[in-house]
Amino acid sequence: MASLPSSLKQIALFFERLPGIGEKSANRLAFYLLRLPDEDLKSFGEQIMQLKARTKKCSHCLNLTEDLVCSICSDSSRDQSSITVVEDVLDLLSFENGNIYKGLYHVLHGRIDPLNHIGPDDIFISQLLERIYAKGSELKEIILATNPDMEGEATAMYIRNRLEELKKDKGFTFTVSRLGYGLPMGANLEYADYMTLRKAIENRNRY
Amino acid sequence: MASLPSSLKQIALFFERLPGIGEKSANRLAFYLLRLPDEDLKSFGEQIMQLKARTKKCSHCLNLTEDLVCSICSDSSRDQSSITVVEDVLDLLSFENGNIYKGLYHVLHGRIDPLNHIGPDDIFISQLLERIYAKGSELKEIILATNPDMEGEATAMYIRNRLEELKKDKGFTFTVSRLGYGLPMGANLEYADYMTLRKAIENRNRY
């Protein structure tokens, strides 16, 4: 790429660092920017520069917000007795967009992943325990909604054990649950993996 | 997306305007930015804001450059007697990355496309003719490398006719050629379209 001007090349190289963008797409994106109005680029550039300063973690659930408390935690119409624990803010948004859950969340910002040297203290588990401790008997259910893969399972299992200790110590009565496993809707049995099929059999329902 | 902070949402909406990026990827990209060091975001933001001011068109071939003349036109070791006419800078870069051509280029920045109201005067054809006129008999070949689709063919045909006029008027002797058509390397005959197969038969070579 000897002949790409450095103003474009630097932007393309930055795009290339983002997930799912290869060299060709990065170049196309950088070139595309040239077609946009200058004021749009100015405001985008400013937003990028201010992003980290403007975006904070909610002091309750660690969801991202520009205020002290996020819009979910400050919405008193939501069910205050239920907390769904997710790995990332994007997981939270999947639930919110589906409009399928009306309780509160807790964002771990990661998962226990020993191979990448991420232990229980590197994600926001202690904040979850403190929050549950403060809520006390108001709380009815904790839903562990980490991903159904190895690290997500390990994280869910670790948190479940800590929660069971807390319940025994303090006499709390909330239930701890995990997302249901089975065939995704619209799936084709022929292409389902064995683990999913086994879960689908185990979790079969009366019909 | 009621609960996405506006600092992130604005960035995600900008990403969504770029080609090939949908809502989900745009959100993922915006979130990913949060993980990058603040100084990287600062410099990326600045580059975006300065992009249009810093990037100019080469005064010879209209390739993008930060100088008056691009690195290709200012490289005297390149064959000055050959000009390849391409639609876009990305097409030029494809040739350059393949290291398959050592002459000069001319970038049209578009193609004749009547359905979208783009005529010969809306792309840089007159600049090409002036350049050829100035070069005079130094020039040996013009390679028309517009895309092999309807608009690219129309553009090539229009430029060829203008070049033939110029040759007749001024007694120039350069040849005008068009990229070869045929099966792409690694292709499967079974999946080739009829137009390509017809071209492959027409352009068959002694073996």
* CATH value at residue B118: 3.40.1360.10
| In-domain check, residue B95 | yes
pLDDT in tens, A1-44: 456 788 888 999 999 999 999 998 998 899 899 889 999 999 99
pLDDT in tens, A75-107: 999 999 999 999 999 889 888 888 888 999 999
Question: Residue A24 is encoded by which pair of tokens?
Answer: 């060709």
Residues B39 and B88 in one domain: no
pLDDT for residue A118 is more than 70: yes
The H-or-E segment that residue A119 falls in is none
pLDDT in tens, A143-197: 999 998 899 999 999 999 999 999 999 999 999 999 888 888 887 878 888 888 8
Could B64 and A2 be called an inter-chain contact, meaning their C-beta atoms sit closer than 8 Å? Answer: no
Residues A45 and A87 in one domain: no
Which residues of chain B make contact with A6, given a CB cutoff of 8 A?
Answer: 66
| In-domain check, residue A192 | no
Question: Quick count: other Cβ atoms within 10 Å of Cβ A185?
Answer: 5
The predicted pLDDT at position B188 comes to: 82
Residues A86 and A144 in one domain: yes
Residues B81 and B172 in one domain: yes
Alpha carbon A104 to chain centroid distance?
14
Query: In A69-78, which positions are buried (b, 16+ CB within 10 angstroms) versus exposed (e)?
Result: ebbbbeeeee
| In-domain check, residue B202 | no
Look at phi and psi of residue B20 and say left if phi exceeds 0, alpha if psi is from -120 to 50, else beta.
Answer: left
The predicted pLDDT at position A76 comes to: 94
Residue ranges making up the domain that contains A35? 6-54
Q: Provide the number of structural domains found in chain B.
A: 2
Residues B48 and B81 in one domain: no
Residues B91 and B48 in one domain: no
The predicted pLDDT at position A3 comes to: 63
| In-domain check, residue A197 | no
First vs last C-alpha separation in chain B: 62
Residues B44 and B86 in one domain: no
Closest-CA distance, B196 to chain A, in angstroms, reads 25
CB nearest A96 (choices: B2, B10, B36)? B2
Quick check: B84 contacting A, CB < 8 Å?
A: no
Residues A88 and A170 in one domain: yes
pLDDT in tens, B105-142: 999 999 999 999 999 999 999 999 999 999 988 999 99
Could A11 and B46 be called an inter-chain contact, meaning their C-beta atoms sit closer than 8 Å? Answer: no
The sheet with strand A175-178 has its strands ordered as A104-107, A82-86, A141-144, A175-178
The predicted pLDDT at position A1 comes to: 46
The predicted pLDDT at position A2 comes to: 54
pLDDT in tens, B5-56: 888 899 999 999 999 999 989 988 998 998 899 999 999 999 999 998 899 9
The predicted pLDDT at position B1 comes to: 46
Matching residue, tokens 């919405």: A75
| In-domain check, residue B11 | yes
A177: burial class by Cβ within 10 Å (0-12, 13-18, 19+)?
Answer: middle
- If one compares A112 and B182, the residue with the highest pLDDT of the two is A112
CATH number assigned to the domain comprising residue B42: 1.10.8.420
Alpha-helical regions (H) of A74-203: 89-98, 125-135, 150-170, 194-202
Residues B123 and B156 in one domain: yes
Model pTM?
0.73
The predicted pLDDT at position A13 comes to: 93
The neighbouring-strand residues paired with A177 are: A143
Closest-CA distance, B207 to chain A, in angstroms, reads 35
The predicted pLDDT at position B95 comes to: 87
A199: burial class by Cβ within 10 Å (0-12, 13-18, 19+)?
Answer: middle
Alpha-helical regions (H) of chain B: 6-17, 23-33, 38-54, 89-98, 125-135, 150-170, 194-202
Could B47 and A5 be called an inter-chain contact, meaning their C-beta atoms sit closer than 8 Å? Answer: no
Reduced to 3 states (helix: H, G, I; strand: E, B; else coil), residue A176 is strand
pLDDT in tens, B156-184: 999 999 999 999 999 999 999 998 888 88
| In-domain check, residue B88 | yes
Confirm if B105 and B57 have CB atoms less than 8 A apart: no
The predicted pLDDT at position B191 comes to: 81
| In-domain check, residue B59 | no
pLDDT in tens, B30-39: 989 988 999 9
Residues B83 and B170 in one domain: yes
Q: What is the ipTM of this complex?
A: 0.73
